[in-house]
Amino acid sequence: MKKLVVLLLASLVATSAFAVIDPDDNMMGIYFDRAAEDNCLTVGASMPFDVFLVLTHPTGPAYDAYELGIRNVGATGLIFKLTDIPGAGQVSGINVADPVPTAEGGDYVVGLAAPLFNAEAIVLHQWSYMLLAQVSVEMFIGAASTSSIPGSPFPVVEILFPDQTIELVNVGTSTGGVEIPVATVNLDCVVAVENASFGSVKSLFR
């Protein structure tokens, strides 16, 4: 169903370059641009590249924390993490998860020093990586191993309301399920699909 929606949207615009490729509300994905338009990349060896964690079409007024687990699969020993920036340079933040994530992945439990306010695409985190060979990488996201919402496989964000109250909620992944990569390097572009798990998360925001 999500694939059909994307195709219909594409047919209604004059150019393929439209902001945010995922049309659904409250989705988190990994992209190679801040506008959440590119989730696949071709890159050679020893060429640094930037990666962004983006919350798309959020329905909350502001966000000041996030939790997720990330896995970069396919380049063990051949991928290096050059930078790891909570808040993506917009605000400062700290990852309190232990142990510290490696280039292959790990947990992020991040609190931000200031909130990030609602926008079509909110950039939460930025990494820079480099491959030692032109190998393929599949990037997955899901719940942190010590999630604040136990029992859910999905990432968590903390919504900050104008009255300073907060609410922890799950968000879906941009491709519809935690078993599907949200971004790829040196592979075909990943296509979003609908599944039961995604539907159950999506229903939380209706």
SS3 192: coil
Whether the per-residue pLDDT at 63 is higher than 80: the answer is yes
Mean of all residue pLDDT scores within the chain: 87
Contact between residue 147 and residue 61 where contact means Cβ atoms under 8 Å apart:
no
Contact between residue 49 and residue 41 where contact means Cβ atoms under 8 Å apart:
yes
β partners of residue 49 = 129
Q: How confident is the model at residue 12 (pLDDT cuts 50, 70, 90)?
A: very low
| Cα distances (angstroms) measured from residue 93 to each of 68, 74, 150, 164 | 15, 29, 23, 19
Distance, in Å, from the CA atom of 7 to the CA atom of 11, rounded to the nearest integer, reads 6
For the chain, the structural domain boundaries read 2-187
Residue found by looking up tokens 């599949």 in the block: 138
pTM: 0.85
Query: What is the dotted CATH code of the domain comprising 2-187?
Result: 2.60.40.680
Query: For 19-23, 98-102, 146-150, 160-164, which range has the lowest pLDDT when averaged over its residues?
Result: 19-23
Query: For 8-17, 26-35, 43-52, 55-64, which range has the lowest pLDDT when averaged over its residues?
Result: 8-17
pLDDT at 19: 56
The percentage of the chain sitting over the pLDDT mark of 70, rounded to a whole number, equals: 84
Q: How confident is the model at residue 43 (pLDDT cuts 50, 70, 90)?
A: very high
pLDDT at 205: 34
pLDDT at 206: 30
pLDDT at 6: 34
Q: Give the model confidence (pLDDT) of 95-138 as tens digits.
A: 999 999 999 999 999 999 999 999 999 999 999 999 999 999 99
Query: For 3-7, 102-106, 188-192, which range has the lowest pLDDT when averaged over its residues?
Result: 3-7
pLDDT at 36: 97
Whether the per-residue pLDDT at 48 is higher than 50: the answer is yes
